[in-house]
């Protein structure tokens, strides 16, 4: 058991020494350049993010206007559908009032009806 512990300690020590020897060497200025590059990219991304937020806000306003317009159109549509339904129900109704006409009035009305019907057929 004691031998296994010693072997494990020796192996871990060798791994530590090898990682220290073969690690990539970067100078501090290289890290500073990389940090400055990342800071610049971050600033550009923050600016882009602000532009996108402004665009989203303006699009939200447009969406609200369109949504309210849709609601109004739906209300108008239901009102018109109700009117159409009422008119369709009344289409086959016979009016209760009758106009009293003499023979000449009937002939004139019938002639006008035939003229209108002839115009609509063409």
State if pTM tops 0.85.
no
- Contact between 109 and 101 (Cβ < 8 Å): yes
Could you tell me which residue, 97 or 38, shows the higher pLDDT?
38
Long-range own/partner contacts, residues 110-116 (CB < 8 A, 24 or more apart) = none
| pLDDT at position 46 | 93
| pLDDT at position 26 | 62
In angstroms, what CA-CA distances link 101 with 10, 58, 98, 109, 117? 125, 67, 9, 10, 21
| pLDDT at position 24 | 67
| pLDDT at position 105 | 82
Residue pLDDT, tens place only, 13-67: 988 888 877 776 666 677 788 889 999 999 999 999 999 999 999 999 999 999 9
| pLDDT at position 84 | 93
For the cut 70, the answer to whether the pLDDT of residue 75 exceeds it is yes
């Amino acid at each position: 058991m004691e031998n296994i512990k010693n072997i494990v300690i020796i192996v871990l020590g060798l791994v530590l020494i090898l990682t220290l020897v073969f690690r990539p060497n970067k100078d501090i200025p290289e890290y500073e350049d990389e940090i400055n590059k990342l800071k610049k990219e971050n600033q550009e991304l923050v600016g882009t993010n602000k532009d996108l937020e402004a665009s989203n806000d303006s699009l939200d306003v447009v969406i609200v206007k369109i949504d309210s317009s849709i609601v109004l159109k739906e209300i108008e549509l239901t009102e018109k559908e109700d009117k159409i339904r009422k008119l369709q129900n009344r289409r086959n109704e016979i009016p209760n009032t009758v106009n009293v006409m003499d023979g000449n009035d009937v002939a004139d009305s019938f002639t006008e009806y035939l003229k209108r019907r002839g115009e609509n057929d063409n």
